[in-house]
Chains A and B, each alone.
Chain A
Amino acid sequence: MKNGKRDVGSLSDEELMLRVKGGCSASFEELVRRHRRCVLNIAYKFTADENSAEDIAQEVFCRIWEHRKTYTPTAKFSTFLYRVTTNFCISEYRSYKRRQEVHIEMRDDETTYFDLPSKEEIPYVEMEKTELAAKVKSAIASLPESQRIALILCKYENLPYSQIAEVMGTTVEAVKSLLVRAKATLRERFSRILKEK
């Protein structure tokens, strides 16, 4: 058993995924171990909510298991993983918004799950350690979905434009444009701080 684990640990992500494709749960466990932090933090940056980020990250891995047979070795595992993660974040966010529209009258009693802030009202600000961190958090959360994803992948995952484009199913030029617009919005949000500096 120990030898088996050591063996799994020395394999690349792509090799592990090929084993997962064949139903190997030990290889899958190793992939979860390697990438849980990354997936969790993408979900966290996207949702701005720690609890929902944990649920989403777990669900992302379950989806990868369910769709393991669709993985092709031509694609980098990380690209596949980022794609599943961002798609799942977006679909969860959209379904949350739909629920929000249906149950609009119940809003006062709901928790902050996907409670993305409007520019005026930021419910989780007081929970943050510093004012600046809270402002950054709310500013990112207020960005449109695609700009938010592009920014998270670029800034926090350090992905090159080409890989972001592959993850988002778009072109490099479109990614650059998304980032320019995201930064313009942030510049607007941080204009007061920038003036002070």
Chain B
Amino acid sequence: MDCKDVRKKISEIIDGGLYENLPQDVRKHISVCNECRKFYENEMLIWKMLDCYPSIEPSADFVEKVMRKVRATKVAAKRVFSRIIAAVGTAVAVIIVAILLFAPSELGPELSVTEVAEILEKEDLLANLDLAEEWEAAALMDLLESVEDLELESE
């Protein structure tokens, strides 16, 4: 192993926190190579110095604060959802009214809103009226046919 390989290996060993368990080949190399031995000692010292950085403890109400924020997020999400639903509902209503007002109508000329409303209210009545007319026509036809039959019999 050359110095480059040894240093690479030393670096990896130290990163893994195993600086006191050097493999035999590295041990052998640093026993004869002053530069690599110095490198190893410095790397180990730096790694140990980093232990001086203190850790901190979370505040006593850390979990509570997080959960409060999460609950607030949930409420906000619900509000956004209901706003979206309301917006979609309004849009659908506007589209329906627009269709009724501006779509080409079979009823003749364009109608006002009140006229459309009146028509919608009377829709059932109109349908019944049409049906009644059909029934009357059918009854009349039956009557004519029966009169014709009588005439044929008398002849």
What residues make up the interface of A, taking CB atoms closer than 8 Å to B? 25, 28-29, 32-33, 36-37, 40-41, 44-45, 50, 53-54, 57-58, 61-62, 65-66, 129-130, 132-133, 136-137, 140, 151, 154-156, 158, 160-161, 176, 179-180, 183, 186-187, 190, 193-194, 197
Which residues of B sit under 8 angstroms from A151, Cβ to Cβ? 50
- Give the docked Cα–Cα distance between A126 and B49 (Å): 19
With contact pairs A54-B59, A179-B15, A187-B46 given, residues A133 and B52 touching in the complex (Cβ less than 8 Å): yes
7 A-B pairs besides A37-B57, A62-B66, A176-B12 with CB distance below 8 A are: A41-B56, A133-B53, A136-B49, A155-B50, A156-B55, A190-B49, A194-B45
6 closest cross-chain pairs (CB), A and B: A133-B52, A61-B66, A36-B58, A136-B53, A65-B70, A62-B69
Main secondary structure of the interface of B (DSSP, over half): helix
Closest to B72 in A: A62
* Tier of interface size on chain B: 20 to 34
Which residues of B sit under 8 angstroms from A180, Cβ to Cβ? 11
With contact pairs A176-B11, A187-B46 given, residues A58 and B69 touching in the complex (Cβ less than 8 Å): yes
Which residues of B sit under 8 angstroms from A129, Cβ to Cβ? 54
- Give the docked Cα–Cα distance between A71 and B38 (Å): 46
Which residues of A sit under 8 angstroms from B65, Cβ to Cβ? 58
Q: Tell me how far the C-beta of B131 lies from the nearest C-beta in chain A, rounded to whole angstroms.
A: 54
Which residues of A sit under 8 angstroms from B57, Cβ to Cβ? 37, 40
Which residues of A sit under 8 angstroms from B70, Cβ to Cβ? 25, 28, 61-62, 65
Inter-subunit contact A29/B11 (CB<8 Å): no
Inter-subunit contact B11/A133 (CB<8 Å): no
The verdict on B73 contacting chain A, using a C-beta distance below 8 Å, is yes
With contact pairs A136-B49, A194-B42 given, residues A154 and B56 touching in the complex (Cβ less than 8 Å): no
Inter-subunit contact A161/B15 (CB<8 Å): yes
Which residues of A sit under 8 angstroms from B63, Cβ to Cβ? 29, 32-33, 36
The verdict on B62 contacting chain A, using a C-beta distance below 8 Å, is yes
